[in-house]
Chain A
Amino acid sequence: MTTLLQFKNVSKQYGNSTVALSDVNFSVNEGELVSIIGPSGAGKSTLLRCINRLIDATSGEIIFDGADMLKINKKHDLRALRTKIGMIFQNYNLVERLSVFENVLHGRLGYKSALVGALGLYNENEKKQAIKIIQSLGLNEQVYKRCDQLSGGQKQRVGIARALVQEPRVLLADEPIASLDPNSSKVIMDHLKNICTTLGITVLVNLHQLDVALNYSDRIIGISGGRVVYDGLPANLTDEDIRRIYGSDPEALNLIIQKPKEVAQKI
């Protein structure tokens, strides 16, 4: 198995006082589905955004596909690398007034010259590919609908489609199901798992829900206060580890009462 992504002593400080990540080390293999869990404010979103440089880490190395992301200075090189990294968000972050099709095609912008992309000119191949992906996510009937007419679950699938037309090596998901009902959540998580196993795309997903993480991940990274406090298989996660990750977060304590493995079996 080859390593696709590696964090080496990565730290991130906002301003002078807020330390969001401190000395983070881990690596992710190609084709893995890794969940990053931790309480609110632990630094999960910051960690994901450091990978595609939406946020610049303060120090350390982030090796993605053999290149150190932090050493890339030229805008052009950064855009090229970002095309290899898809991302989806809790709030979907679509252009609500545009159609599903237009939003999905936005995933191709990184491959285009500034002018061609600005004019929204896509070739037939790209459109064909986009339609195929839209269909695979079960959005056939919504292709020309405006995104503000979709349900949350549908919007998130558009987000996934936009990321997939990038033909990414890795998909970053920042709390993708935090705004969804249980049924839609399951659909989205199943899609993510499917993308990982059938397309071989590595998936890194921030989750607030321990039960979902236990059920879907190949590996779990637990962070608390900006530090990695657990890195291992879901099966090896003990109550002790959970307590270390969540501290006294009341929401998580509900889950600690039940044994994690029992929780996992329930889904």
Chain B
Amino acid sequence: MAMTKTAGPVLTNGGVPPFQEGRIKIRVLSKANIAIRLTMLILAVLTIVGFATFNYQGVHLLKGLMSTLANFKTIFFQPQFAHFTLLEAIYQLFITLSLGVLTTLIGAIIALFLGMLAAENLSNKTVSNSIKGFVAVIRAVPTVLWVLIFAVSAGLGSVAAVIGMSFHSISYLTKAYSESFEELNQGTIEALEGCGASWWQIVCQAVLPSSLTSLISWTFIRFEINFGVSVAMGAAAGAGGIGYDMFMDSAFYYNLHEMGVITYLILIVAMLLEFMSIKIKNKVRA
């Protein structure tokens, strides 16, 4: 092997082959890296092929784009009340929020117990695996679909929305909680067992204090999700709330100005939620 002499000190890295000439790589291509690149490439190709082969049915792409932008302009720059007042809108927003809170709460309470049974360090392998498998199946079906499934027996409306959304929240939070519980190492549990502590004592004195931050974070994340789903459920499942007004504005009154108001209201709430979640996390961590 030919080595070029350099004026400065030469780095010798015992046994490791020296860097090749040219650019130095920062990252080594791993399997995950390759998979990500491949996925991106396939998505790009599919997008191009998709646009080329769409059935536009006489809608001109550019014209369509322009009128969509015009609609956005109406929504975002000319918001205006028409069918209800601000107070009424806030009341509807409150209903939507309540739907989010209720379903998150139901989900959190049930998931807390299921999560303990699903955590490998608190349960046995068989129970843990069967619960984890079960909730994985539930999670694989989107929330909206669960609502529609329950609507078969409960009828389209708020009942189906509450049951369907809670159902999905339970499975989501069970997975999240059980993983938080599993972060407490087996040794600590062993130590407390050795002191003569009972299972519930270990849960309350070691597992819950150790995982409190993540439990709260996960619950809040799920609440943000449920708020979004509640808006959609108002429209899709007739669950009431701000989503229903939005649906009426877009599908019946075709009032984009009022839709703008609603969009802003939802945006404000979403930002408040985000702000609160950051605050809570900081407080718990301190």
Contact = CB atoms under 8 A, between A and B. Distances in A.
Interface of A: 52, 54, 75, 78-83, 85-87, 89, 91, 93-98, 102, 106-107, 109-112, 114-115, 117-120, 159, 162-163, 166
Contacts of B201: 109, 112, 114, 117-118
Contacts of A83: 195-196
Interface of B: 184-185, 187-188, 190-198, 200-201, 203-206, 209-210, 212
Nearest to A172: B194
Given A52-B194, A83-B196, A114-B198, A93 B205 contact: no
A118 B204 contact: yes
Nearest to A81: B196
Given A97-B212, A98-B209, 19 more contacts: A79-B196, A79-B197, A85-B194, A86-B195, A87-B191, A89-B190, A93-B187, A93-B191, A94-B188, A95-B184, A95-B205, A95-B206, A109-B197, A109-B205, A114-B200, A114-B201, A115-B200, A118-B201, A118-B205
Contact of B197 (A80, A97, A106, A159): A106
Contacts of B190: 54, 89, 93
Contacts of A94: 188, 191
Contacts of B195: 82-83, 86-87, 106-107, 109-110, 162-163, 166
Contacts of A109: 192, 195-198, 201, 205
B63 to A, nearest CB: 60
A91 B187 contact: yes
A87 B194 CA distance: 7
The SS class assigned to the B binding surface is helix
B197 A120 contact: no
A118 B203 contact: yes
B185 A93 contact: yes
A102 B205 CA distance: 9
A106 B196 contact: no
A85 B206 CA distance: 20
A54 B194 contact: yes
A85 B197 CA distance: 12
A159 B210 CA distance: 17
B200 A118 contact: yes
A117 B202 CA distance: 9
Nearest to B184: A95
Nearest 8 CB-CB pairs, A to B? A110-B196, A93-B191, A82-B196, A109-B197, A118-B204, A93-B187, A79-B196, A117-B201
Contacts of B192: 106, 109
Contacts of B191: 87, 89, 93-94, 159, 162
Contacts of B200: 114-115, 118
A54 B201 CA distance: 17
Contacts of A166: 195-196
15 contacts: A78-B196, A81-B196, A82-B195, A87-B191, A89-B187, A95-B188, A95-B209, A97-B209, A97-B212, A102-B205, A106-B195, A107-B195, A109-B205, A117-B205, A118-B198
A105 to B, nearest CB: 9
Given A54-B190, A95-B188, A80 B196 contact: yes
A97 B284 CA distance: 11
Contacts of A110: 195-197
Contacts of A115: 200
A117 B193 contact: no
A110 B203 CA distance: 14
B198 A106 contact: no
B1 to A, nearest CB: 35
Contacts of B184: 95
Given A114-B201, A120-B204, A95 B187 contact: no
Contacts of A117: 197-198, 201, 204-205
Nearest to B188: A93
A111 B195 CA distance: 9
Contacts of B197: 79, 106, 109-110, 117
Nearest to B211: A97
A94 B185 CA distance: 10
Contacts of B210: 95-97
A80 B204 CA distance: 20
B199 to A, nearest CB: 8
Contacts of B194: 52, 54, 82, 85-87
Interface centre among A75, A107, A109 (most CB of B within 10 A): A109
B188 A120 contact: no
Nearest to A166: B195
A188 to B, nearest CB: 16
A110 B201 CA distance: 9
Nearest to B194: A87
Nearest to A168: B195
